[in-house]
Structure 1
Amino acid sequence: MKNHKQNPHFILIGNQILKWYGQNARELPFRNTKNPYNIWICEIIFQQTRIAQGMQHYENFVARFPDVKTLANAHSDEVLLYWKGLGYYSRALNIHKASHQIMNDFGGVFPEKYEDILYLKGIGKYTAAAVSSICFGKQIPAIDGNFYRVLSRIYADDFDISSSQAYKYYENLALEMIPSNAAGDFNQAMMDLGSEVCKPRNPLCSECPVQENCIAFQTGKISEFPVKTKKVKVESLELQYYFVGFQEEFLIKQRGDDFIWKKLFEFPTDIPDDFREFSINEKIVKHKLTHKNLVININRVVLSSKSQLDKFAFDNGFSIINKDNSQQKSFPKPLENYIDGL
């Protein structure tokens, strides 16, 4: 990261934020370490999951996979199992692939250079900056939604955060105020300030350490920032599944690497015509992914004999399981809910 000319007034604001963080930092287990492996895992988990919800998942994951080598040696199915309940399963697969990169390309040692961290599968600018600053003292801001919100309000800056240039623009703003050699703490301070005080709705401005220097607050325009005009195109998609079973057993198969829900298990998506007479009900489930609205039709098919189930499984590459041992498999959330409701 090149040296950036800093503004004394904004350095003052940065120091106010750091001072507030020193007095109000949340006590989180991953803040007791500068181990890049742990910081990497926690950053990936908490990007889309609130800390209160994801904490147990984080602790379970690093307990089972305490280091890069253990993770790399594990089977992807077990990695997915320990990710169960977090969603975004492609992230678990990317973490697993990145662990192989670290073992093969960096001798099993987590890389220190920002560019090398960014090279790892599934790691973007934000995560690379977080690991670089927290673990290796690099003066790099980790720009995320908290940065966009806090900085746009402090500066009353209407630069569109949906723009492709937003990351670089707000990175430059952040560099104006980060105190020297304090990027790691500053990045974590911005995370706490954005999530606990400068919230998207109903921000707690009375508790903000930089209220007097926040132009949006002083001008009564907090609700106008950040500015976001671009809307993400959402695709509608309909899926058909058949829950094919006999007594307590039913059929599942693991998905491939293409499309959504990579490597998760699912029910059959088609059945022979002579099976359709055994269909006893249909359930329609609506489910939202980041850029997709799903309508999922699940037909329950109860066969008349175990031999029918065995033959279909053998001919079509399905596994036969029951509800109890399904807990050791990772399913898309709508299918997991269907099994739980049996």
Structure 2
Amino acid sequence: MKTKKQNADFLYVGRKLLDWYQIHGRDLPFRKTSDPYKIWICEIIFQQTRIEQGLNHYRNFIERFPDVQTLASSQTDDVLLYWKGLGYYSRALNLHKAALQIINDFDGVFPTEHDDILKLKGVGKYTAAAVSSICFGKHIAAVDGNFYRVLSRVFADDFDISNSKAFHYFSELALKMMPENEAGHFNEAMMDLGSEICKPRNPLCESCPLNKECLAFNLGKIPNFPVKTKKVKATDLELHYSFVEFEGQFLIRQRKDDFIWKKLYEFPIEFPVEWEQFITKQKTIAHKLTHKNLTIQISHIRLESQDVFTEFASENGFTIINEEESHLKSFPKPLENYLTNLFKNTSNV
């Protein structure tokens, strides 16, 4: 069985989806605007963040950086600070770089053509399609995980979504369903259906507006779709940090942009062997990234000499900060959690 989509009337299914969306579409702040800058920001934020988790971050980010000029002229640290809590910080760095692209290559005006949007740093096929359709009415499908899941189930289509041709394949299928001049609403409807009804696990099939047309549902094969065979094996990585402090101050340094956690702040990695006597405790943290399983060991070192503390910082390019100042810096999630727990325990003493 390659596909049974010949049993469905594509446009009929698309119109049913739009009728459902007109009544049940989510009331979201970025749906009250056609400003491509704001749509771009929201699409990047919600790529890897659930709506309910990211809404306040979206509002705060737009309030601080209301337009591309403000974003482009801001410091990287400030952009990262307002991204704090969203994770995948490379998204924020790419937003900043793309804003500079818009200033330099498009005279500060957000590009209107799909191919130009696709040239922006950090913008992939999905985001370019979403902005193009929602803001500029381009007849293009914004295919993402929701599209793969919904279309695979509705048409009981076993095309492997890990296949490099999956985006093109499901784009063509979606376009057959998409009524003319409704691309933006159609794409948003598909996003809502995939997020709210056709979920990866425990989908609400009885409430789905397409359950009568859904072949997987009617065949009792919802768990079989979508089909995905290729899995990327996660690699193991060990990291060793030292939290070096002296009388409430501690050392940090900004990471480079050639590995994980680009431009975020971290603790020292190495310390003089004679400091081992000043280790007060050690903590091991397990943390998962998309393709990496991290084991992070943090040694808490409490120095007794200010001269030793400041000399080490000066010679090795570390910044000395305190708790209050640390709130203005962005750290990888496991280090952020370490600081949060440390300060909480300190305040309770």
- Aligning the two structures, in what range does the TM-score lie when normalised by the shorter sequence? over 0.9
Name 1:3's counterpart in structure 2.
none
Amino acid at match of 2:192: D
How far does the alpha carbon of each residue in 1:142-173 deviate from its partner, in whole angstroms, 9 at most, with x for none?
Answer: 00010000000111000011111111110111
Secondary structure of 2:177's counterpart equals coil
Residue 64 (structure 2) aligns with: 64
Aligned residue for 1:121?
A: 121
Whole-Å separation in 2 of the counterparts to 1:318 and 1:22: 55
- Paired residue secondary structure (1:211): coil
Give the distance between the partners of 2:155 and 2:138, measured in 1 at CA: 25
Structure 2 counterpart SS, 1:328: coil
Alpha-carbon displacement from aligned partner over 1:215-261 (angstroms, at most 9, x marks no partner): 11111111110011111121110001000011211000011111010
1:233-244 maps to which residues of 2 (within 5 A)? 233-244=233-244
- 2:8 touches 2:213 (CA, 8 Å); kept in 1? no
Corresponding position of 2:3: none
Q: Which amino acid aligns with 1:166?
A: A
Matches within 5 A, 1:245-260: 245-260=245-260
Amino acid at match of 1:216: A
Q: Check 1:18–1:7 CA distance in 2 against 1; reply closer, same or farther (3 A cut).
A: farther
Q: Match of 1:20?
A: 20
* Alpha carbons 1:7, 1:176 under 8 Å: kept: no
The answer on whether the counterparts of 1:211 and 1:217 sit within 8 Å (CA) in structure 2 is yes
Q: Once the 2 structures are TM-superposed, how far is the Cα of residue 7 of structure 1 from its aligned partner?
A: 10
Give 1:97's aligned residue.
97
Cα distance in 2, alignment partners of residues 93 and 223 from structure 1: 37
Deviation digits for residues 113-151 of structure 1 (CA, Å, limit 9, x no counterpart): 100000000000000000000000000000001000000
Q: How does 1:137-152 map to 2 (within 5 A)?
A: 137-152=137-152
Q: How does 1:31-42 map to 2 (within 5 A)?
A: 31-42=31-42
Question: Any stretches of 5+ residues in structure 2 without a counterpart?
Answer: 1-5, 343-349
2:54 is aligned to: 54
What is residue 224 of structure 2 aligned with on the other side?
224
Aligned length: 337
Matched with 2:208 is: 208
Q: Tell me which residue corresponds to 1:288.
A: 288
Distance 1:282 1:210 in 2: 54
Find the aligned partners of 2:275 and 2:308 in 1 and give their Cα distance. 9
CA distance in 2: counterparts of 1:45 and 1:70, whole angstroms: 18
Task: Compute the displacement of 1:205 (Å).
Answer: 1.0
The one-character-per-residue Cα deviations of 1:182-231 (angstroms, maximum 9, x if unpaired) are 01000000000001011111111111111111111111111110011111
- The alpha carbon displacement at 1:101 in A equals 0.3
Matched, 1:317 2:346: no
**Runs of 4+ more than 3 Å apart:** none
Taking only aligned residues, the RMSD between alpha carbons, in angstroms, comes to 1.1
One-letter identity of the residue aligned with 2:127: T
- Partners of 1:266 and 1:331 within 8 A in 2: yes
- What residue identity is the alignment partner of 2:60? N
| Residues 288 and 294, structure 1, Cα contact 8 Å, conserved in 2 | yes
Secondary structure of the residue aligned to 2:286 is strand
Question: What CA distance in whole angstroms lies between the structure 1 residues aligned with 2:57 and 2:135?
Answer: 22
Question: Is 2:344 aligned against 1:305?
Answer: no
Distance 2:295 2:210 in 1: 46
Instruction: Tell me the amino acid that sits aligned with residue 146 of structure 2.
Output: N
TM-score, normalised via structure 2 length: 0.95
Q: Percent identity?
A: 64
- 1:261 maps to 2:261: yes
